[in-house]
Amino acid sequence: MPATCVVGLQWGDEAKGKIVDLLTKQNDYVIRYNGGANAGHTIVRGGQTFKLSLLPTGVLEPRVTSVIGNGVVVYPPRFLEEVGNLRQAGVSVGANLLVSHHAHVIFPYHLEEERLQEGAAAESAIGTTGRGIGPCYQDKVGRLRGVRVGELLQPALLRERLHRIVPYKNRLLRSLSDDARTFDAEALFQEYAAYGEQMRAHVCDTSEILLNGLAQGKNLLFEAAQGSLLDVDHGTYPYVTSSNSSVAGVWSGSGVPARYLSRVIGIVKAYTTRVGGGPFPTELHDEMGERIRQAGREFGTVTGRPRRCGWLDTVALRYTAALNGVDEIALMLLDVLSVADQISLAVAYECEGQRLERFPADAAQLARCRPIYETLPGWRCDITQVRRFADLPRAARDYVEQVARRVGVPIRLVSVGPDREQTILVSPS
């Protein structure tokens, strides 16, 4: 089993961190391959809560090497802050944390660019996390103004690059708003060169290290950030993030060839949430939505925004399960649905008078779809202490089995709370 990928099958926040944490011990490397500090991973261990945005979840396990792959966009102050917080909490972080020299760097002008562009977009705003993710990826793909982590370690080159890039960025920012914040190239150079020095021990060619690891029979665990419906190519474009958050990002974002991936675990919340703009057919605008939000503490880890909540959508899940080649599903936060007397499960859509079984990832068409629900009885009792599938209330078991049947992928794990122990392994029947 050389490489496993843990990937979200919805719009992010599926509690991937808990599953990565559970699997970390069986692996030698844990790799983030996409996104940046827009992700929010909460891991609860023995009553201690760790919140990570940029660092791989594996960093909590010093025996394992944690890798920030080339596909990630790195905001150095955030990197250093998370490392500092972990050390303060007694977690050892040193040679076990590596950052690709090819990962791109987020600068404060990226944050300002995003703030002004999102502000100007008003109604059609994507509702981004404001972490500079989109503008940094734009510069990466545009090639003229992207700066890689490896360049932070080459002061002469970095100075020259920033003295060329920053005047352009200042002109761009002023064109977006008269009140735009602008930047001093030399001051940014000094600041980022200092970050580079502090990060130096972690920066290397991570692709080479991972390939060597594979050659030595080591096990790799890829940790996706965001969910597959936010994938820039396969998600509900343009209401997506700027990276490949599906399994498609693994090879481009880590340098590990596709052929090594042998297991894909799809992470699914027992209901659906979405943060930011974009269509969401099963969204609940009523008291039930609010009940789920409160019970699931559905407020963004990164931004604190209330998440939009709704019923589980098996049309979307069939699409993302196929897209990722998912072998098995981990169904998370089942305990939250204990607040519902009855549970609805979207099994198809109605769109312009037609029944639709296929998910239209095209946002405009998706916005015209209405869910067709199947209704199942709720269980209305606390299931957070249950540890065996057979001990779940009948209605909860029926719900899990129905989801697996509708999606066409076995559910091998059910989570009934944030702690590691609150996990039920489901044996194949």
Q: Which residues bind ligand IMP (CB under 6 A)?
A: 11-13, 38-40, 126-129, 131, 133-134, 225-226, 230, 239, 241-242, 275-276
Choice between 132 and 196, CB closer to ligand IMP: 132
State the minimum distance, in angstroms, from the CB of residue 76 to ligand IMP.
18
Catalytic residue among 13, 231, 313, 335: 13
Q: Report the candidate in 126, 40, 117, 123 with the shortest Cα–Cα distance to residue 298.
A: 40
Cα distance between residue 365 and residue 236, in whole Å: 10
Choice between 50 and 379, CB closer to ligand IMP: 50
41 is catalytic: yes
Choice between 35 and 213, CB closer to ligand IMP: 35
Catalytic residue among 21, 28, 41, 202: 41
State the minimum distance, in angstroms, from the CB of residue 272 to ligand IMP.
12
- β-pair type (308-310, 48-52): unpaired
Contact between 321 and 329 under an 8 Å Cβ cutoff? The reply is: yes
Longest dimension (CA), the chain: 67
- β-pair type (97-100, 261-269): unpaired
28 is catalytic: no
Query: Which pair of tokens denotes residue 9?
Result: 């099958």
Backbone φ, ψ for residue 196 (5° rounding): -55, -45
Choice between 126 and 414, CB closer to ligand IMP: 126
State the minimum distance, in angstroms, from the CB of residue 303 to ligand IMP.
7
State the minimum distance, in angstroms, from the CB of residue 310 to ligand IMP.
14
Choice between 131 and 161, CB closer to ligand IMP: 131
Q: Three-state secondary structure along 252-320? A: HHHCCCHHHEEEEEEEEECCEEECCCCCCCCECCCHHHHHHHHHCCCECCCCCCECEEECEEHHHHHHH
> How many other CB atoms sit within 10 Å of the CB of residue 314?
26
- Residue number with the smallest Cβ distance to ligand IMP: 276
> How many other CB atoms sit within 10 Å of the CB of residue 1?
10
State the minimum distance, in angstroms, from the CB of residue 129 to ligand IMP.
3
State the minimum distance, in angstroms, from the CB of residue 39 to ligand IMP.
4
Choice between 126 and 193, CB closer to ligand IMP: 126
Q: Report the candidate in 203, 171, 185 with the shortest Cα–Cα distance to residue 83.
A: 203
State the minimum distance, in angstroms, from the CB of residue 111 to ligand IMP.
10
Query: Which pair of tokens denotes residue 201?
Result: 């021990």
Query: Which pair of tokens denotes residue 148?
Result: 């890689």
Q: Report the candidate in 184, 279, 268, 249 with the shortest Cα–Cα distance to residue 12.
A: 268
Choice between 366 and 386, CB closer to ligand IMP: 366
Q: Report the candidate in 320, 291, 263 with the shortest Cα–Cα distance to residue 380.
A: 291
Give the bridge partners for 344, in sequence order: 375
Query: What does the CA dihedral 227, 229, 233, 238 come to, rounded to 10 degrees?
Result: -110
Catalytic residues: 13, 41
